[in-house]
Amino acid sequence: MGRLGGAIRRFFDLQAGSIWNDVAAEMTASAGKLVDVGCGGQPYRSLLPAGTQYVGLDIAAAGEQFGYAIPDTVYFDGGRWPEQTRDAGFVLCTEVLEHVLDPAALLAEAFAALRPGGRFLLTVPFAARWHFVPHDFWRFTPSALKHLLDGAGFHDVRVVARGNETTVACYKVMALFLPLVDRPCPVCQSTAARPFAPANVDPAALDAFAFASRKLPEYMHHALVVCADCDLLYSNPAPTRESIERAYRDAAFDASAESRDAARTYGALLRQISPRLPGRQGALDIGTGDGAFLEQLLADGFSDVAGVEPSEAPIAAAQPAVRPLIQHGPFRADRFAPASLNLVTCFQTIEHVYDPLQLCRDVFGLLRPGGALFIVCHNRRALLARAMGLRSPIYDIEHLQLFSPRSVRALLLRAGFARVQTRPVVNRYPLNYWARLFPFPGAMKERVLGWIRSSGVGSIPLAAPVGNLAAVAFK
């Protein structure tokens, strides 16, 4: 990730920082050949003294299973180590042993690679969450490590704790306020996934707008993986359902103008869908915000219209005509009669829910035959999202999953829908909104937004295909 990115990660990731400090203290004395087994992105290579030969070693499946592929790494099948590793003066193995099905075999190979008098530095997690699922197999006590190392032939074995009381306390505080749980793919339930990006959440940077719609991006996200079976990108581990609902309940809201712009865009798309519906009686908008789209539904002739919104603030900002139509709280299917709706809409919401498949299955049960679920979500495979990478505002602490055309189709088909259609969305917002989303450097962003406000150009509307995806599924 580069030296700057690594330094930032070590500052916010206490575990990564403690490993770095311990490894740095040992590697300054290395000489000759150093073998870094399970080297991943080779983060410790820069610590080597001048004149040390570096051999990065990893399994051939490292790219698929762990998201690492470095050109000058020596890749092997995970069994006997290649000849390039022999006669090493130092073998380094950081946070690898828990991912190996046969730890004793790896330690025996490490011993065989060392020349007489060589040293072996091993780090493993202990009180750590299940990670790189499903390739995380063990946790080792100090007694277990000494037993394994003695059995491999090592002597003068020393096992010490990593980190300190502050590290432990910080992790416990973070676990209290940001409880996380491991989960399989929330669309297809597969556990076959490759890492996409590590977590970069700073709890101190979260404010009342962290879970608000159309906010100023913080560029923070949970650990992200990509499902190998359906192409969904999702957070794992993810916040618990209870913590998500609590966060949205108390979220702030200041996006009434933008919600009306979005409602007009989605209303134009709805007019292409409405003629195919069995009727216009019974429509539900999930994640309705301030109810701007409810106004659109009423204007288009829909009756028995309702909305569901988990946050209190946008409901308070709703127009008096639609505020009574909004139910406060998370979507619960048992609040509505089965087969009572012709249309359910869910705009920029499916990324935020804990169980998107259950939501879609519940919607299927509420629809009449021929009724439709109309979703708008971010398309992580869109050209702009790929070009911006992790600086795209779609990578956000609110988004528990991000879809592509393939994964949203898989979601809707698994929920029981028979006809699924997808298409890109051209959004229309004022210039000041687009500028808020663009990843200008911090100081520059303040200057750009200030100029836009003072010059009066911020209200100029601009339509752009920024990477949103519409999906319509019929029952």
Instruction: Please give the domain boundaries of the chain with CATH numbers for all domains.
Output: 3-165 (3.40.50.150), 256-474 (3.40.50.150)
Name the amino acid, one letter, at 39. C
DSSP-based three-state secondary structure for 349: coil
Q: What is the pLDDT of residue 215?
A: 43
Distance CA 431, CA 452 (A): 8
The structure tokens listed for 389 are 């990478």
Q: What is the pLDDT of residue 433?
A: 63
Phi-psi region of 214 (alpha: psi -120 to 50; beta: other; left: phi over 0): left
Q: Are 431 and 460 in contact (CB under 8 A)?
A: yes
Average pLDDT score, the chain: 84
Q: What is the pLDDT of residue 61?
A: 82
Q: What is the pLDDT of residue 128?
A: 67
Q: What is the pLDDT of residue 189?
A: 94
Model confidence at 388, pLDDT cuts 50, 70, 90, reads: confident
Strand partners, 181: 238
Q: What angle do CA 393, 306, 423 make, to 5 degrees?
A: 45
Model confidence at 152, pLDDT cuts 50, 70, 90, reads: very high
Strand partners, 374: 345, 472
CA 220, chain centre distance (Å): 9
Which of 287, 188, 201 has the alpha carbon at shortest distance from 237?
A: 201
DSSP string, 229-285: TT--EEESSEE-HHHHHHHHHT-----HHHHHHHHHHHHHHHHHHGGGSS-SEEEEE
CB within 8 Å of 130: residues ≥ 6 apart: 136, 182, 237
Strand partners, 471: 375, 422
pLDDT for residue 325 is more than 60:
yes
Which of 65, 69, 18, 22 has the alpha carbon at shortest distance from 42?
A: 69
**Model-level pTM?**
0.63
Q: What is the pLDDT of residue 4?
A: 42
For 252, phi and psi rounded to 5 degrees? -80, 175
* Higher-pLDDT residue of 456, 398: 398
Distance CA 202, CA 206 (A): 7
